Amino acid sequence: MNTHHKRWPVWPLLLAVPLVCAGALLAGAAGLPDWQTPLGRAVLELRLHRILTGLVVGAGLAGAGVVMQALLRNPLAEPYVLGVSSGAGLGAAMAVFFGWNVLHLWAVPAAAFVTGIVTLTVVYFLAARGGGASIYGLLLSGIIVSAVLSNLLMLIVSLAPAEGMHSILWWILGNLQLSAQPLLMTGGALVLGSLVILTVLGAQLNALTLGRETAHHLGVRTGLMIAGCLALATLLAATSVALAGLIGFVGLIVPHAARAWVGPDHRKLPAVAAVIGGLFLVICDTVARTIVAPQEIPIGVVTALVGGPFFLALLLRRRKGGWIE
Amino acid sequence: MRFIFLLMSIWIAGTVYVPAATNDVVRVVSLAPCLTEIICAIGARDCLVGRSSACHFPPEVVQHVPVAGNFGIPSLEALANCTPNLVVTVDLEDQNAVQAIEHLGIRHASIPCRSLDDIPRAMRTVGQLLHREAGAEKLAGEFAQTLADLRKQTPATRRRVFIEIWGDPLMTAGKKSFLNELVELAGGTNIAGDVARDYFQISTETVLARDPEVIVLLGGTASAVAKRTGWLQITAVKTGHICSGLDGDLLEVPGPRILEAVAVLRQCLQP
C-alpha cells in the first residue's frame, strides 16, 4: 500500500454539504424567491426536492462505482458497466412506448428499476454458469447483454412517435426533476441502507481488492461477498437510475476523487464517495438549471463537461502511483 | 407524428431556393403538412402526387395521396414511385437528401413557414412553382389582410399564458415561434416570450415564478398538470384555466388555417 499518499480529513466535506445545499437553494432561474408568498415557497420546495434528489442519486451512483471498481479491480469500472443502464433504459423506454407512463406516475421509475435489476441478475448467472462468477466472465457477459439491450432500446426509439422519442432521449440524458416525493423517500432509504451495509463490509471489500485468492486466504467467503456486493451495487445504481435517468460520469470519477481524498480503505470509501457524489451532482444540477435560465440543459451534459477535465487532472496528478496503491 | 413539425421548425433554414419554372405539368410531393395544406388551398390539389406521413389535412384529399416519407425525411424509393418532378419541403432533416432527390432528376424547393408572415410568402412561392399564381395571390392576400386586421385589435389587458408543448421534458414555445405570435394575437402574453428561441425546455421554477393565468396544453391532461410538485400554486391551475384537448392539426401546422387558431386561443383566454 502507498502509505505516503497525502490524505485529507473528512470534516471539510461534511461542512461543504450544508453550504453547497444553501447555495443551490438560493440560486435558480426565478432568482431569490419570496418566502412570504405560496408561489415563492413552491419554488423553494422545487429546488429543495432537486437538491435532495441530487444528494440521493449522487450518493447512489458514487457508492455503486466504488463497489464496481473494487469488485472488478478495474479503475474504469462504473455502475453501468455490467448493463444496469441499458437494462433500465430499455425498461423506461418500454414504459414510455407502451404508454404506461400516462397511467401511473411510478411506471417509468418502476420499470427502470426492475429491468435494471433483472439485467444484472441475468449477467451474473450467465457469468456464473458452472461455478462462481469470474471478473472476466462478468465483464464479458455484461458487455454482451448491454449491447443487445441498447440496440433494443434503439429499436424502440426508432419506432416511437416524436413525443415518446423525445421523452426517452431526455430520460437517457438524466433529469433530477422527474421523481415524485414518496419515490424520493423510498429511494433515499434504499441508498442509505445499502451504503451502511457496504461500510460494514468494508474490511472484506479491502481484502477482495487484493485479489480473490488472497481474499479467500484472508478468510473472506469470496463467492458470497462478490454476489452480495454486486447486489448492493445494483440496488444503488438501479435506484439512482429510477430516480433521475441515466446520469453518466458520477459513478466513474467520484470513486477516484474519494480515493484521492481518504485513501483506498473501503471502510470509509462508500460514505466519503457518497458525500462527494451528492455534492458533485447538486453543483452540476445548479449549473444545469441556472447557466442558460430560464432554459434548462440536461444534467448529464454538465456532469460530463465538468467531470471530464476533472478526471483528466486527477489522472495526470496520480500517474506515478498505481490505482490500487 | 403531428408533433414532428415542431421539432422540425428548429432546423428551418432561412433561404428559399426556387428552381427555374417550366411549363410542364407539375407533379409535386410535399413533405410538410403546412405546404400540403397550402397546395390544396390554392386549388392545386390535382398536382399533389405524394405527401409526408405527417400531412393529415385536408383529409378528403390526403387519404388518396400516397405517402412519400416522413416530415422532412423523404423515403427515396417511395418518392421515386410517385414520379414527381418537384419536391417541396420546409426543410430536410438530412441536407444530403437534396443531392439524392436531385440525382433522381427531381427539382427540390425549400420553402420556410416559420412565422405567420412567412405563410403568405410561402403561398405565393408555391403558386409560382405550381403555376397557380392567381389562386395563390388571392389566398395570400386574404391571409395577409386577416393577419393585419388581427394585429390591429389590441386588448385592454393581456393575460399571462404558458404554452406547454410537452410535459416531459417541459417544452414551451419562445419568441421565435408562431405559437408566440398566435398567443399575442389572441390577447395574451407568452410567459416564455422573452426567450429568443423557437422551442426549448423551460425550467419548472420559471413557470412557477412567472405564474401564468392560462395554460395551453398541446399534449397531456389538465389533471396530470395539477399533480406536479408546486403547480397547485399557479393561478391557472387554481382557477382551472387549463386548455387541453385542442386540435393539434390546427394549432401546430403553420398553414392557411392557422389564423383560425386565434379564435380557439381566445376561447382559452376568456376569464
Measured CA to CA, the distance from residue B174 to residue B201 in angstroms comes to 10
pTM > 0.95: no
First to last CA, chain A: 5
Taking the CA of residue A106 and the nearest CA in chain B, the distance in Å comes to 13
The amino acid at residue A176 is: L
Which residues of chain A lie closer than 8 angstroms to B230, CB-CB?
A: 42-43, 45-46
Q: Go through chain A and tell me how many residues it has.
A: 325
The DSSP symbol for A321 reads S
**Cβ-defined contact of B203 to A41 (cutoff 8 Å):** no
CATH superfamily of B4-149: Nitrogenase molybdenum iron protein domain (3.40.50.1980)
**Cβ-defined contact of B202 to A46 (cutoff 8 Å):** no
Contact A325, A263 (CB under 8 A): yes
Q: State how far the alpha carbon of A189 is from the alpha carbons of A24, A62, A117, A185, A196, in Å.
A: 23, 16, 17, 6, 11
| C-alpha dihedral sign at B43, B44, B48, B54 | negative
Please report where in the chains the cell 462504473 appears, as a residue: A78
**Cβ-defined contact of A296 to B202 (cutoff 8 Å):** yes
Q: State how far the alpha carbon of A217 is from the alpha carbons of A51, A208, A230, B264, in Å.
A: 44, 10, 21, 77
Measured CA to CA, the distance from residue A101 to residue B167 in angstroms comes to 12
**Cβ-defined contact of A38 to B201 (cutoff 8 Å):** no
CATH class held by domain B159-269: alpha beta
Residue A221: all three cell numbers together:
467467503
**Cβ-defined contact of B3 to A38 (cutoff 8 Å):** no
Taking the CA of residue B241 and the nearest CA in chain A, the distance in Å comes to 17
Poorest-confidence range of A85-94, A161-170, B116-125? A161-170
Taking the CA of residue A312 and the nearest CA in chain B, the distance in Å comes to 31
Taking the CA of residue B42 and the nearest CA in chain A, the distance in Å comes to 30
Which residues of chain A lie closer than 8 angstroms to B208, CB-CB?
A: 30, 39, 42-43, 46
Poorest-confidence range of A164-168, A233-237, B60-64, B171-175? A164-168
With cut-offs at 50, 70 and 90, classify the pLDDT of residue A37: confident
Residue A287: all three cell numbers together:
449549473
Interface probe for A, chosen from B208, B228, B234 (most Cβ of A below 10 Å), is: B208
The phi, psi pair for B72, rounded to 5°, reads 75, 5
DSSP per-residue codes, A52-110: HHHHHHHHHHHHHHHHHHHHTT-TT--TTTTSHHHHHHHHHHHHHHTTHHHH-TTHHHH
| CA nearest to A103 within chain B | B224
The phi, psi pair for B108, rounded to 5°, reads -130, 135
**Cβ-defined contact of A175 to B206 (cutoff 8 Å):** no
Residue A319's pLDDT is what?
58
B105-135: string of b/e by CB count within 10 Å (b at 16+)? Answer: ebbbbbbbbbbbebbbbbbbbbbebbbbeeb
Residue A135's pLDDT is what?
81
Task: Tell me the per-residue pLDDT of B55-90, one tens digit each, with 9 for 90 and over.
Answer: 998 999 999 999 998 888 899 889 999 999 999 999
Which residues of chain B lie closer than 8 angstroms to A295, CB-CB?
A: 195, 197, 200-203
The amino acid at residue B133 is: E
Residue A131: all three cell numbers together:
461455478
Taking the CA of residue B103 and the nearest CA in chain A, the distance in Å comes to 27
Residue B179's pLDDT is what?
95
Poorest-confidence range of A26-35, A53-62, A289-298? A26-35
**Cβ-defined contact of A30 to B169 (cutoff 8 Å):** no
ipTM above 0.85, yes or no: no
Q: Cβ neighbours of residue B141 under 8 Å, at least 6 residues apart?
A: B120
Measured CA to CA, the distance from residue A73 to residue B93 in angstroms comes to 45
Measured CA to CA, the distance from residue B183 to residue B172 in angstroms comes to 12
B248 interfacial to chain A (CB closer than 8 Å): no
User: Which domains are assigned to chain A?
Assistant: 11-317 (1.10.3470.10)
A28 interfacial to chain B (CB closer than 8 Å): yes
The residue ranking higher by pLDDT, A162 or A9, is A9
Residue A131's pLDDT is what?
66
Per-residue pLDDT of chain B (271 residues; tens, 9 = 90+): 455 544 444 444 334 444 444 456 899 999 999 999 999 999 999 999 999 998 998 999 999 999 998 888 899 889 999 999 999 999 887 888 888 898 889 999 999 988 999 999 999 999 999 999 999 999 999 999 999 999 998 788 899 999 999 887 889 999 999 999 999 999 999 999 999 998 998 998 899 999 999 999 998 888 888 888 889 999 999 999 999 988 888 898 999 999 999 999 999 998 8
Q: Choose among A28, A49, A161: nearest Cβ to B229.
A: A49
Q: State how far the alpha carbon of A325 is from the alpha carbons of A121, A211, A271, B109, B129, in Å.
A: 31, 13, 20, 65, 73
Poorest-confidence range of A52-61, A300-309, B126-135? A300-309
Residue A5's pLDDT is what?
56
| CA nearest to A291 within chain B | B203
| B4-149 and B159-269 agree in CATH topology | yes
Which residues of chain B lie closer than 8 angstroms to A289, CB-CB?
A: 203, 205
Question: In A, residues 162-191, which contact B (CB 8 Å cutoff)?
Answer: 162-163, 166-167, 170-171, 175, 177-178, 180-181
Mean pLDDT of chain A: 86
Taking the CA of residue B228 and the nearest CA in chain A, the distance in Å comes to 8
Write down the domain spans for chain B.
Answer: 4-149, 159-269
Poorest-confidence range of A81-85, A257-261, B219-223? B219-223
User: Residue A69's CB: how many other CB atoms inside 10 A?
Assistant: 28
* Total beta-carbon pairs less than 8 A apart between chain A and chain B: 87
Which residues of chain B lie closer than 8 angstroms to A45, CB-CB?
A: 229-230
Question: In A, residues 203-242, which contact B (CB 8 Å cutoff)?
Answer: none
